[in-house]
Amino acid sequence: MLVSTFAAHPAAAAAARRQPGPIRPRLPSCSQIGTGTLRRRFPMARLSITNALASQSLESAPAAPPKLSFPILVNSCTGKMGKAVAEAAVSAGLQLVPVSFSAIEVPDGKVEICDREIYIHDPSEGESILPSIAKDYPDMIVVDYTVPDAVNANAELYCKLRLPFVMGTTGGNRQLLRKTVEDANVYAVISPQMGKQVVAFLAAMEIMAEQFPGAFSGYKLEVMESHQATKLDISGTAKAVISCFQKLGVSFNLNEVKQVRDPQEQLTLVGVPEEHLSGHAFHMYHLTSPDETVSFEFQHNVCGRSIYAEGTVDAALFLHKKIQSGVNKKLYDMIDVLREGNMR
């Protein structure tokens, strides 16, 4: 079982076998990442000529620019991830388009998000309905959180209608996805991972793979990823990290990934808190040297969906600015969003 591999360094494991008592497993850390409003504390003003002049300067200073807002259509709002993005978009001051698409039937054909009614249509109606929605909501950006099997078909539709979009859904044919966007010359952000801090980790991995190819040649890699049972495919993040390790000289096939989707196994083997079984992402990458005297371990655990929802909204804000500026480059990923440095 993988749990034994991840329990300790090989040398430590050998020493442990000589101990009379059992070893307590290490509990993985898990902290929900949210957003809050920072409050600045200002010192009490002192009466002086300097303060008076400063006050006049502030009064004459130009007003702060208005908060950026534009229409955003979240497809689909019936899923937990889509709902989280819709809530984050409203919180950010964006205009939530009251339309979404889903094969899931909902009461009265609508859902309520942040006191807004969102009307749900069958995905087959997308091509006939989206043109009129785009006309009613100029500058609209679509966010896609649907299912892996719909990724390429949805992207083709967005490109056909020339709708800029953020693709948060993992899976599908990613090479074809990029080609579809490039051929259509439509603005889009495509990323297998929308959590900004996790993307920063991925960027660091890519830099290491580019600058030190073959550094881990001969090492054995074991990968375990745990997500809620509704996630059907292998994590896109895991695929990206594995790709970096392959460039670093590690031989590994995607079918070797241990996918954990059973709740009981997630509780006992992975250590996922029970309240987050329905929404989490725990990843572990374990490297062992050929002679088993050296090991490396990379781990990132996320509970909840707020980290992805906030990152997705940042991606939409980024894309809107690129569209408004009219830059020639159209296709972006979350690393581009991070490099822009204007995240909330």
What is the reported pLDDT for 66? 52
pLDDT at 67 (0 to 100):
65
Q: In which residue ranges of the chain is CATH 3.40.50.720 found?
A: 71-195+307-340
Strand bridging mode 141-144 / 165-167: parallel
What pLDDT does residue 238 have?
A: 93
- pTM of this structure: 0.73
CATH of 196-304, one of 3.30.360.10, 3.50.50.60, 3.60.15.10, 3.30.230.10: 3.30.360.10
Known catalytic residues are: 227, 231
Q: Largest alpha-carbon pair distance within the chain?
A: 76
Coil vs helix vs strand at 118: strand
- As averages over each run of 10 residues, the pLDDT of the chain (344 residues) reads 39 41 40 37 33 38 61 95 96 97 91 96 96 97 95 97 96 95 98 91 95 98 95 88 97 96 96 95 97 97 95 97 96 94 71
Residue 202 phi/psi, 5° resolution? -60, -40
The predicted pLDDT at position 68 comes to 75
**R_g (Cα) of the chain, nearest Å:** 24
For 6, 15, 222, 233, 271, the CA distances from 263, given in Å and listed in that order, are 19, 32, 21, 16, 10
pLDDT value at position 231? 87
| DSSP state letters, 18-66 | TSSSPPPPPPPP----------PPPPPP--SHHHHHHHHHHHHSPPPPP
Question: What contacts 162, CB < 8 A, 6 or more positions away?
Answer: 184, 186
Whole-number Å distance between alpha carbons of 56 and 210:
54
Residue 168 and residue 310: Cα distance in Å, rounded? 12
Residue 287: its H or E element: strand 280-288
Single-letter code of the amino acid located at 94: L
Q: Considering only CA atoms, which of 136, 142, 138 is closest in space to residue 160?
A: 142
Q: Which helix (H) or strand (E) holds 302?
A: strand 295-303
CA distance 78 to 171: 19
Taking the CB of residue 196, how many other CB atoms lie within 10 A of it?
19
Phi, psi of 341 (to 5 degrees): 70, 15
Q: Which residue has the tokens 């859904």?
A: 169
pLDDT given at position 295: 98
| Rounded to 5°, angle at Cα 228 from 224 and 230 | 120
What is the assigned CATH class of domain 71-195+307-340? alpha beta
